[in-house]
Structure 1
């Protein structure tokens, strides 16, 4: 077991640091470094133990370690395994296997079978503008056979991927809405719930077993771009070919599929920096309107379909909850109000963003589509979208779109959102210049989601707990669990940070500016590993999405692609003024400070008398920002060392 990284440099030797970096791809070149040199990175980048643990281990008292508090270990692949995936990205392997299947089918076509299966995943929960569902329906119609929608509940996978109970609750609520809509089309939605001990790799075989039971000659689905999901689909294609089942996997999550944004200089390379990526991507979507064209909605089955699958509809129903991911009654009610389910709700959330003014009354446990929003559709410049250029940084009102849960679960597509935005824009054209208009700024935010998905597809290591920029593999992190716990609970002593974390815990969501502030505080002020924060967000948020969450955390931690430079460290006090100019956000989520105003609210410990501060019942800052900043600069400048403790 690795020694504590909180020990001094005399007992904690310098860890190996990649020293041969290609400036374009920032990939580590393979050399003759022994595997022993990388053992420290096997599974965990740090021990995440405090000094007491290291002392007990040194004294041979390992039996006492389990009783000591420590943060949850992040899931981190070995460097060797990550490099193997990078050398052979799973998406490429899937595409090769599909090409092999398609060539074989041209020579020996398969029968259509007695039914068609559309395997719905947890990030495409919609009927509108759904690529694979649309094609599966057309195939079923052309062969006069019923379409079956299948969903697989996978508790073990949810646990492995740190899915939050709130995300699973949102999933189940959306499935119930979809089942009602599909029933009107005579299309059965059948839910196969895996046992909690079912191997994660068993999904493809179970789906193919159901295909055999239902006489389905084909299985259709949309691709995801995370490593595990791509390897699942690779097994589905290879096993389907062996069993005579056609597998159709379609790109649907993004407006432009991974690899589709080519460098203007030619070649197969992709952009690792956002701005040139965005310039090409935005040119593509404005010059080629078909990229935003919706896929046709599914057509009805024959009226006999629901009767044919009647027994399965009874046996394969939507569970009321998933064991290990239950919400208590209070949280369930709050989530339903704050994040209403269904495609109609998603469309209304979008419409409110495009046509109504921001309001501070939306801070609490309220619906994003609650009554009372002022309609300014006749003067769009006053809408939340119209003021997005400056308003997006303000957490004290509903200045952002609130669409992230619907994007993450695929309840609405980026194509639909951009097409509707274009329809409501002057001349029906989509503004993309982020310097010239608020709409252009918002479109660029959607493009960040696309960019990070392109990154995880091209560089699988970021799905495996590895930094994009391998130079920072050796950054030395702190390991005291008390600081992590204070950050999680919103008791760090910095009001804007605490307000952000309390919003996270109460609402399963957080304003984007506050996500950056909270993440910067964890990684730069507390000097705790970004993977701990990434994981905590995933376990709390209803909009937990690997690409966006990982991309955001690595941006703040300065380890990612096109990141914030390590020497740019957020000051919690100045960020408070930017994110919460009225103070309403802090006062709502940190009620201990509700009687304060102005700078006293932003920095009560620094501005109030000791007696007045103590009377608040609010914690003192757990670190000094100025000292913490200097420590962070030292760690990033001297990778692999702890110069501040030498």
Structure 2
């Protein structure tokens, strides 16, 4: 390239699209804004391995992200937007990296979609300040939720603390507007000069380099656009109607299994609702409690937990929503914790769930509640240990939903039910896996145990011939101990407040 052409290229301003948890081209708000700016667009994804380790992101999710980036790279290339993938140590080095990119590639404006966890918000503030110092524009827009945090409030303009009234308010607002997935411009005016500018200076036009992270195989989850959209459409058209009846039975393929795509942004919540409402318009009829409405409610749960995370910074900092639960005296038993992690507690439904998680990186939602309740209420183990373990394993790990789910199970969150709700793992097993079909799939050593004893195999006369552990705890005793521990914690907290 001669000096004259280089000078011409350098004089052209560009827009930078910073991809994060929004790995898609369709229905990407920041991408639309970047295109609408009229500037040639460059996209970047920043790899932050040490930050991922600090956030306990699972190797399967990182593998899924890496595979998805190959798809996004081609999709962006089809609309003449190059994708640059760079690596930073952690969030602290991101502002300098963005500033350097802006200087190298004549970036006048940076576009991204807002993230809600505390560390991500602090990172974005630091980036914004660095760009202001360079006299560059910063556009961080709402995209992750259907309704942005802060938009669904009580009459006192405060965040809801209980789900059902939040859901009612959410639906009222949702139905008052025509919320639809945004679309991208059919044609993007983009000169070849942007590709020329990046060529030879980065890996943008070569293969995406393997991430420097301990990964696990995510091949159970296809990442191409057609497969993801087909999975969404198939669920809405064939399963959503029966979701209420089937969703709690892990042996039945009755859930959407879309959560990994929502977690990394390969699919948006808006796309999910648009597909659902097209297939089953009655899904918004709250009084009918149809299957589609129940799935819609699950999407709203995701919104609820993200809105809470955005409103209460302590939820990102390993703190409970219910402050009195700071005083719960947790038990420390490394043998019991290891047994739970390995799926060897002697409670078949818990063990099947934990083995499914370890093998696939995914766990059925009913089983997440059962296994979480068991850790906290039957083992009296600090819920944060379980929250971290799940994040390290889950392919769909997402701070707001994982934290919200664990605090729900631990009775430390916003749930309206008091602390003395304790799941009985045996009766849960009998109810939701009555014939032990799921148990036998994941705990094969129990495959010959009669149905009558599949949920409590230690009561079977032939148990001595089975290579399976005895129950590590007595549920009745631990239930009473857990309730008493929470009761004492609340008494302690109340007395300190009165003092």
Instruction: Determine if the alignment matches structure 1 residue 353 to structure 2 residue 242.
Output: no
Contact 1:188 1:313 in 2 (8 A): no
Alignment partner of 2:256: what SS? coil
Task: Render the CA deviation track for 1:220-273: whole Å, top value 9, x for unaligned.
Answer: 00110000000011111112111111000000000110010022x3x3212111
Structure 2 residue corresponding to 1:248, chosen from 139, 156, 163: 139
Alignment partner of 1:117: what SS? strand
Report the alpha carbon displacement of residue 582 of structure 1 after superposing the two structures with TM.
Answer: 3.6
Alignment partner of 1:311: what SS? coil
Contact 1:394 1:581 in 2 (8 A): no
Structure 2 residue corresponding to 1:302, chosen from 191, 194, 199: 191
Instruction: Determine if the alignment matches structure 1 residue 323 to structure 2 residue 217.
Output: no
- Corresponding residue for residue 589 of structure 1: 442
Task: Render the CA deviation track for 1:569-608: whole Å, top value 9, x for unaligned.
Answer: 11111101232134221110000011234231111012x1
**Aligned 1:4-153 pairs, distance under 5 A:** 114-121=13-20, 123-139=21-37, 142=38, 145-153=39-47
**Ranges in structure 1 where 5+ consecutive residues have no aligned partner:** 1-110, 356-382
Report the alpha carbon displacement of residue 424 of structure 1 after superposing the two structures with TM.
Answer: 1.1
Task: Render the CA deviation track for 1:543-565: whole Å, top value 9, x for unaligned.
Answer: 00000000000000000012542
Report the alpha carbon displacement of residue 354 of structure 1 after superposing the two structures with TM.
Answer: 1.8
Contact 1:475 1:641 in 2 (8 A): no
- Corresponding residue for residue 507 of structure 1: 360
Instruction: Determine if the alignment matches structure 1 residue 177 to structure 2 residue 71.
Output: yes
- Corresponding residue for residue 223 of structure 2: 341
Counterpart Cα distance in 2 of 1:448 and 1:219: 31
- Provide closer, same or farther for how the CA distance between residues 434 and 583 of structure 1 changes in structure 2, counting only shifts above 3 A: farther
Report the alpha carbon displacement of residue 342 of structure 1 after superposing the two structures with TM.
Answer: 3.3
Structure 1 residue corresponding to 2:55, chosen from 161, 164, 172: 161
Counterpart Cα distance in 1 of 2:450 and 2:180: 47
**Ranges in structure 2 where 5+ consecutive residues have no aligned partner:** 1-9, 493-499
Task: Render the CA deviation track for 1:272-315: whole Å, top value 9, x for unaligned.
Answer: 111110001011112211x2242435743334433332224536
Contact 1:167 1:543 in 2 (8 A): yes
- Corresponding residue for residue 70 of structure 1: none
Structure 2 residue corresponding to 1:628, chosen from 466, 478, 483: 478
Contact 2:82 2:205 in 1 (8 A): no
- Corresponding residue for residue 541 of structure 1: 394
- Corresponding residue for residue 274 of structure 1: 163
- Corresponding residue for residue 362 of structure 1: none
Using the size of structure 1 for normalisation, the TM-score is 0.72
Task: Render the CA deviation track for 1:186-225: whole Å, top value 9, x for unaligned.
Answer: 211100112xxx3531101211110110001011001100
- Corresponding residue for residue 113 of structure 2: 222
Contact 1:128 1:297 in 2 (8 A): no
Structure 1 residue corresponding to 2:411, chosen from 540, 558, 564: 558
Using the size of structure 2 for normalisation, the TM-score is 0.93
- Corresponding residue for residue 386 of structure 1: 241
Report the alpha carbon displacement of residue 465 of structure 1 after superposing the two structures with TM.
Answer: 0.1
